Structure 1
Amino acid sequence: MAFRVSTRNHSMSSLQQPLAQKLMNDPVTPKTAQSMVTCVYQTHIAGFWRNVTIVWSKNLMNYSLSISVESIDHDQPYMCKIELKPWHFWAKRGYRTFEVDGHQLDAYWDLRSAKFSGSPEPTSDFYVALVSEEEVVLLLGDSKKKAYKRTKGRPALVEAVMFYKKEHVFGKKSFSTRAKFDQKKREHEIVVESSTSGPREPEMWISIDGIVLIHIKNLQWKFRGNQTVLVNKQPVQVFWDVHAWLFCAPGSSHGLFIFKPGEPEADSDVEDETRGDESDCSGPSKYYSTLSYSKASQFCLFLYAWKIE
């Protein structure tokens, strides 16, 4: 989707509204659930606000980075894919040009010194820059000085804003990710731990920055729920659905966790919306229906936790 910058508030809301339907139409299966991080940003390119999707993924052979920019005509997005094979050092730094609705975009990247911590998305010592008309419309990573020097571009008048992140994590008992609940503040480390087998009742812990904020006992009865916690005095809504962990074949489906900054909406009825056939082990989580994007809600984190035995 794309739109003129003069109506930013209305336009940003318009971009966010189709996400719930999009996620419902794109169910996750074991076949498609690779080690992957998807981040969607709102950027101003060639006179329009557009969604830019960054996908970091990895398999046994290599990492890959995919950049997708939406068209104003609702056609197929414009794609730029980069393979980062470990034995090709030169491929970790590069430059590529592609067109979006007749406008040239330049993608620059340098991941030669990038640090990783188990996720396909690097944590430090890298940059990925998207340049339009000599303006750096999207800049990822912490090596910003190097990026500006190489691209010779000027900073964007309005910075790109991430409004959702989706990550698939594989583990036995512990699943971790990181996210910014406020774009101007630091990233938070989020860890979900569980004990679903053994003589004791199933339990689950959700911690942020090393502090356990949610502890669920008798998980077999409370496998779906929601709670609002405070992170640096900021309210964050947490939704969880771990039905698959307890009642489905190992590896057949995932637990889903949603982290959404802000207070719950007064007229929302999460419990009623999410009830349904609790025996489903293959379809999308009941919590897809809780997604509600508005001007006051510009970010959501989706954590797909796949248990490996």
Structure 2
Amino acid sequence: MQDPPFPFPSCFAAGERLSEDPTTAGAKSAGQSVVTSVYRTKIAGHCRLITVSWCKNVLARGLSVSVDDEAPSGSGAAALGRAISLKVEMRPWHFWRKHGARRFQVDGRAVDVAWDLRSAKFGGEPEPQSGFYVAVAGDREVALLLGDGKREAYRKTGCRPASIDAALLSREEHVFGRAGRFATRARFQEKGGRPHEVAIEYSSSSSGCSIGGNIDPEMVIKIDGAVAVHVKHLQWKFRGNECITVSRARVEVYWDVHDWLFSPGLSHAMFIFKPISLLTSSSMPLSSSDHHNIAAGSSGFSLFLYAWKLD
């Protein structure tokens, strides 16, 4: 598939794969937010991964949809070998780019992507909260449907709802913060769970801020304003994991804040929030290299949070 004949926001440079390491030059741009969600669903004759990314910078917003172009063959990493991508730029003076449709081929089968963001309400986030739809359809079924404009999406695509709902495997966010505080909202249950406020507070003697008057490096993770994780002596415990309870559900939290402490300039820490069940083993720590293995090979949801420290 050829690249569309219009420029993209810097976070979606032409030819860039969405599944690359998140510490790319685009994500490093201060003030630029990126949210990426990976879904598993049946489309074009096979169970495949669909990746949807939203970005926001001072000039524009961007939407990108990628469909796995290789049927999974037992290995999650192999399934991410190739992807067919659609990229859309939205600027205030380019109204026509806020809605449309595109067809491309995946393993020789037609896949349609339709979107309408003309009435979308973003609320300061990269992805819209309401008043929109993004639909991915194939074989006369809408395999993935995002947003609240479902009736219009089915009319636009001319397809029926899929017999199997798409499963959200992972969500990746890049957030930027000053004065050692980062915040986002997240659901830890795929269906029926309410969004929770997630806040991360970091303090060190060099940052000039402190938690409870202590200048020894430490970190606090709060869920809905309540302290869920408190790590003291962070210079010795910059990697670790802890199990917490959120709305009576167990969530394993992993962190790696090495670069906050030991890398000068713009640096990021990585946090993983993974709901666990009786069938899920949570004894092994995760790292950033496990991102796509989790997305492709696990039946549970994981939130990957990259917190970029601007000062």
State the TM bucket, normalised to the shorter chain. 0.7 to 0.9
What one-letter code is carried by the residue in structure 2 that aligns with 1:77?
Answer: A
Identity over aligned pairs, percent = 48
Provide the secondary structure at the position in 1 that maps to 2:242.
strand
Alignment partner for residue 157 of structure 1, among 163, 183, 186?
163
Asked whether the equivalents of residues 178 and 187 of structure 1 are also in contact (C-alpha less than 8 Å), the reply is yes
Once residues 154 and 94 of structure 1 are traced to their aligned partners in structure 2, the CA distance between those partners, rounded to angstroms, is 19
**3-state SS of paired residue (1:225):** strand
| 1:119-158 → structure 2 map (5 Å cutoff) | 119-158=125-164
Which amino acid in the other structure matches residue 149 of structure 2? S
Structure 1: 5+ residue runs without aligned partners? Answer: 1-21, 275-285
Moved more, 229-238 or 174-183: 174-183
The count of corresponding residues between Structure 1 and Structure 2 is 272
AA at the equivalent of 1:188: H
Partner of 1:195: 203
Does the aligned pair in 2 maintain the 1:239–1:257 contact within 8 Å?
yes
Tell me the residue number matched to 2:23. Answer: 28
TM (normalized to structure 2)?
A: 0.77
SS at match of 2:28: coil
* Separation in structure 2 between the aligned mates of residue 44 and residue 179 of structure 1, nearest angstrom: 25
Alignment of 1:5-44 (within 5 A): 26=21, 28-29=23-24, 32-34=27-29, 35-44=33-42
For residues 72 and 242 of structure 1, the distance between their equivalents in structure 2, rounded to whole angstroms, comes to 35
Shift in CA distance, 68/301, structure 1 to aligned 2, threshold 3 Å: same
Counterpart of 1:277?
Answer: none
Between the aligned partners of 2:291 and 2:68, the Cα distance in structure 1 is 25
Name 1:215's counterpart in structure 2.
230
Query: In the aligned structure 2, how far is the partner of 1:67 from the partner of 1:267?
Result: 31
Matches for 1:63-78 after TM superposition, within 5 Å: 63-72=61-70, 76-78=82-84
Larger deviation, residues 40-49 vs 58-67: 58-67
Normalised to the residue count of structure 1, the TM-score between the two structures is 0.78
Where in structure 2 are there 5+ consecutive unaligned residues? 1-17, 72-78
RMSD: 2.8
In the TM superposition, residue 297 of structure 1 has moved relative to its aligned partner by 4.4
User: Alpha carbons of 1:267 and 1:214: their partners in 2 closer, same or farther (altered >3 Å)?
Assistant: closer
Query: What's 1:178 paired with?
Result: 185
Residues 28-76 of structure 1: CA deviation (Å, up to 9, x unaligned): 2556535311111101012210011112123332111111111136663
